[in-house]
Structure 1
Amino acid sequence: MEERKGKFGYWLRNSISARMIVVGFLLVVLLIPLEFVKSLIYERSSRQVEVVREINNKWGNEVIISGPILKIPYKTIEKTEHFNSDTKKYETRTETITNIAYIFPDDLNVEADVNTLERNRAIYKSVVFTADMNVSGTFPKIDLSEKDIPLSDILWEKATVVIQTTNIKGIRSNMEVQLNDSALALNPKFTKDYLNTIQSQVIPEFETKAKQAMPFSFTIKVNGSERLQFIPIGKESKVSMTSNWHSPSFNGNFLPIEDSKTITKEGFNADWEVYQINRQFEQVFYNTLPNLTHFAFGADLIIPVDEYQKSERTAKYGFLVIGLTFLVFLMIQIGSKIYIHPFQYVLIGLALVLFYTLLISISEHSSFLKAYLISASAVMLLITVYSKIVFKEMKFPILIAFSLSSLYGFIYVIIQLENYALLVGSVGLFVILAIIMFASRKLDWK
């Protein structure tokens, strides 16, 4: 039995194949704690999303504004034939039905001043905003002749103005619309649609006002988060947005006019111009008002850099880091005839896995760059000092320190890239493979 143990120990210490098998097995085993680290990153990222959602719900969610819109009831007469079983004759019945015409403005001008604030809960951050908006424009002269609706069938005394938004809870001002010389108070109206409706009182003397173009204006102050968007319901819609947020992401169906867009560290300015010809809906709808949110445009106002996403991308290279580090140690072991115990490989591998827990924990309290530098430096120092103890000289620990610093630097460059990450990563791996092939050319593999 002792003879067998002695043979196995001799084979393990002197066979290159045995060392490679053991190192490969340890590499696979270390994938288990690496997966635990990835699960931890996912858990912390999910917790961040949950906390940000809670903050945004209390302050106010995304804001989409559509309006103002004229809501004009009109009556139609429907005639139906009914068979009278008593008289054995068909009788004509008439019924008056009330329908609705929704009329969009000819001109819509929006000036939005958006002030952003950072809200913290423990270590998590969210960006919220307060938008002060001035809206003005002109409604056209009322003409429903395209539907053969005579003026006498319009219920002028029931006409109102409606505004739609996704975020009634966030409104922080009394709302009223100035239509010609009338100030119309606005109140919420129950609806099950995605856009909530705010409706005015009936428009006084509307029949007289409707004989010519009608200017309107209103102001609104609203709290929101994540994004601010507008639906271009005017024949000519112009939106100007000014904010102190330094990294907006313009979104939606329409982008700002390129010459009008300026982004600095102090904030941004952007202007949009959208015409009826640019979008696929008409200026008048009958009976139902469709959901036009997919025509909305505006800006996302969010923290652009997610430290958890960067940590997750870094952890995906964990297998590469551990594998290449083990390969360096194995090549040194083969070339120098110094025996490295499998348990020492395990300790080195655990130190490399610990890098990712350090990275995520430090990045929650500092910038990702600082967290990366501190974590990489700590792990490199630990492994370098440990290598000095194992190899009893400095040239090999210096080689290992250089290899680790190059590897961590290479991975940091990759995760900062977006469009060229795959290209740079592929070229980098090709160079690493070429270096390993060149370095191993004189090793005695027997």
Structure 2
Amino acid sequence: MIDQPHPTGNWLRESVLLKLLLIMVIALLLLIPSSWIQELVRERSDRQEQIVNEDTDKWSGRQLIQGPVLVIPYKKAVREKDSTGKEVIKEYTQNLYLLSDDLNISANVKSDTLKRGIYDIGVYDALLSLNGRFNTANIARLQIDNSLIQYQKARLLFSLGDLKGLKADPTIRVQNRSYTASSVTDGLLTGGLQAEIDLSTLPPGDLPFSLNLQLKGSQSLRFIHAAKTTQVEVKGNWPSPKFDGRYLPNERSISKAGFYGKWRMLNYNRPFPQQWVGNDTLLNSFKRNNNVLFGVQLHIQVDDYQKTMRTSKYAILIIALTFVSLFLTEVIQKKPVHVFNYALIGAAMIVFYSLLLSFSEQVGYNWAYLIAAVATIALIAWFTASLLNSKAAALFAVILSVFYGFVFVIIQLEELSLLVGSIALFVVIAALMYFSRKINWN
């Protein structure tokens, strides 16, 4: 007597829905190594940032030009009660702060690229010329008794982002008199330089000043709008700058030979006053806020880690579409593919992202994507040919090429990426619906 196959065993072997469920489980499990790849990308990106920070610290960091500010101490009498309850008058010294009416800055930036292993770092040498004028008549608006103001102890204060970048001693000229600047620790400006100026020997009213700086820096050169009228001109030879900050330049040009940017700003939208008293940290608090900064970054045109991270986030989509395509192919051709083979194909698609990351560090994102995609598609097509046939493998290779090409186009796009991606997914779903119509899901 011949044993008849058990109907339950046949169903387990031949059930389309059960196989789909197993394929979905494999796709979800592949999310685990996919997350490992994303963590590896973050680790490599952090490593790049660490190396860039180490090298820029040795060269000179980001430069931020702030000021100048005229600081004048004055005496303030305050009524207080002593330990016996008797009212006494005590004198304290406070500072009044005055910003310039006009500030003109001209910067000539000569940039270069430092290489540290596989990483590029934008550095520069800059010549800056600053000139403008204060109007000491504005002090009267603070309504301070003129006899209490210590004009002889005035000082002109400005700051840089990294004093290590100074290549020559800065000399300030005020009313045709030269003053040597010295470093100072001041709550108003971090990284401060000051020149002590005896205003009691100078006529009141307009106080012209000028300053030349030779400094080096890295990654960015920025400024703070610290005058009633601020005008800044920056030109350099970096081919891919990025103008950023609170204010964009009124005039700008970018070419392979370099860049030019010109800003002109009035004080109407500035978040701090022209003169004030008492608040010794006012400008420092605004310096930490990027909304009041402006300038230029030595932008590295291609951020391979960012593109690789964005690509890896499409992993589950590509794996799902590939599995569905393979499943429809085996159903249409009536040649079953074991779920273990699905797992191997999924593993190959995960290795694609490892290849992309490692090659992008050496040859750039675009070439790395081509190498990784061709290698992955060739491997899967060869494997599929051994499971089905060469015709099905060629068709499957074309499908994979479309998928990987689709992701590459999405990564290159900026504003249109969501629109193009949504349309493409709609087309894919429509195609799957079309080819799955005649499948007997029972």
Residues 110 and 5 of structure 1: is their aligned pair in 2 closer, same or farther, counting only changes over 3 Å?
A: farther
The answer to whether structure 1 residue 402 and structure 2 residue 398 are counterparts is yes
The letter for the 2-side match of 1:435 is A
Query: Number of matched residues?
Result: 434
* Pairwise CA distance, 1:344: 1.9
CA distance in structure 2 between the partners assigned to 1:442 and 1:81 by the alignment = 96
Determine the structure 2 residue equivalent to 1:240.
233
Looking at structure 2, the residues matched to 64 and 197 of structure 1 have their Cα atoms a distance apart, in angstroms, of 11
> Are 1:121 and 2:116 counterparts?
yes
Q: Aligned equivalents of 2:323 and 2:50: distance in 1?
A: 39
Identity across matched positions, percent: 34
Out of 425-434 and 162-171, give the one that drifted further.
162-171
Aligned partner letter, 1:216: F
Residues 77 and 317 (structure 1 numbering): CA distance in 2 closer, same or farther, change over 3 Å? closer
Tell me the distance in 2 between the aligned counterparts of 1:5 and 1:250: 74
Contact kept, 8 Å, 2:66 with 2:159, in 1: the verdict is yes
What SS does the corresponding residue of 1:425 show, helix, strand or coil? helix
> Match for 1:350: what amino acid?
A
Change (3 A) 1:207 1:14: same
Deviation digits for residues 240-292 of structure 1, max 9, x if unmatched? 011222333322222211xx211112221111111122324322222334124
The answer to whether the 8 Å contact 1:164/1:195 transfers is yes
1:332 aligns with 2:323: no
CA contact (8 A) 2:142 2:276 kept: no
CA RMSD in angstroms, aligned pairs only? 2.5
Q: Where does 1:48-59 land on structure 2 (aligned, <5 Å)?
A: 48-59=48-59
Task: Report the residue type matching 2:75 in the other structure.
Answer: K
**CA–CA distance in 1 between the matches of 2:384 and 2:130?**
69
Aligned equivalent of 1:23: 23
1:230-379 to 2 correspondence within 5 Å?
230-257=223-250, 260-289=251-280, 290-291=282-283, 292-293=286-287, 294=289, 295-379=292-376
Aligned to 2:141: 146
Distance (whole Å) between structure 1 residues aligned to residue 166 and residue 123 of structure 2: 14
CA distance in structure 2 between the partners assigned to 1:26 and 1:77 by the alignment: 79
Paired residue for 1:386, among 383, 403, 410?
383
Q: Aligned partners of 1:298 and 1:278: how far apart in 2?
A: 17
Q: Aligned pair 1:411/2:396, yes or no? A: no
Q: Runs of 5+ in structure 2 lacking a partner? A: none
Give, in whole Å, the separation in 2 of the partners of 1:400 and 1:185: 74
**Map of 2:427 onto structure 1:** 431
Q: Alpha-carbon deviation of 1:336?
A: 1.4
- After superposition, the Cα gap between the structure-2 partners of 1:186 and 1:148, relative to the gap in structure 1 and judged at 3 Å, is same
* Equivalent position to 1:132, from 101, 116, 127: 127
SS in 2 for 1:191: coil
2: distance between equivalents of 1:117 and 1:373? 30
SS of residue matched to 1:322: helix
Structure 2 counterpart of 1:41: 41
C-alpha deviations, 1:316-366, integer Å up to 9, x for none?
111111111111221121111212222222221111111111100000011
**Structure 1 residue 11, shift from structure 2 partner:** 4.4
Scaled by the length of structure 1, the TM-score of the pair is 0.89
DSSP 3-state at the match of 1:261: strand
Q: Quick one: which amino acid aligns to residue 395 of structure 2?
A: L
Partner Cα distance (1:328, 1:97) in 2 = 81
Separation in 2 of the partners of 1:55 and 1:302?
Answer: 16
Whole-angstrom CA distance in 1 between matches of 2:314 and 2:122: 31
**Dislocated runs of 4+, deviation >6 Å:** 3-9, 81-85
Question: Residues 6 and 340 of structure 1: is their aligned pair in 2 closer, same or farther, counting only changes over 3 Å?
Answer: farther
Look up the SS of the partner of 1:250 in the other structure: strand
Cα pair 1:13 1:339 within 8 Å, conserved: no
State the SS of the aligned residue for 2:378.
helix
Instruction: Summarize the Cα distance change of 1:317–1:146 in structure 2 as closer, same or farther, 3 Å threshold.
Output: closer
Distance in 2 between the 1:168 and 1:298 partners?
Answer: 18
CA distance in structure 2 between the aligned counterparts of 1:230 and 1:25, rounded to whole angstroms: 55
Map of 1:142-181 to 2, 5 A cutoff?
142=137, 144-181=139-176
Give 2:71's aligned residue: 71
Partner residue, 2:215: 222
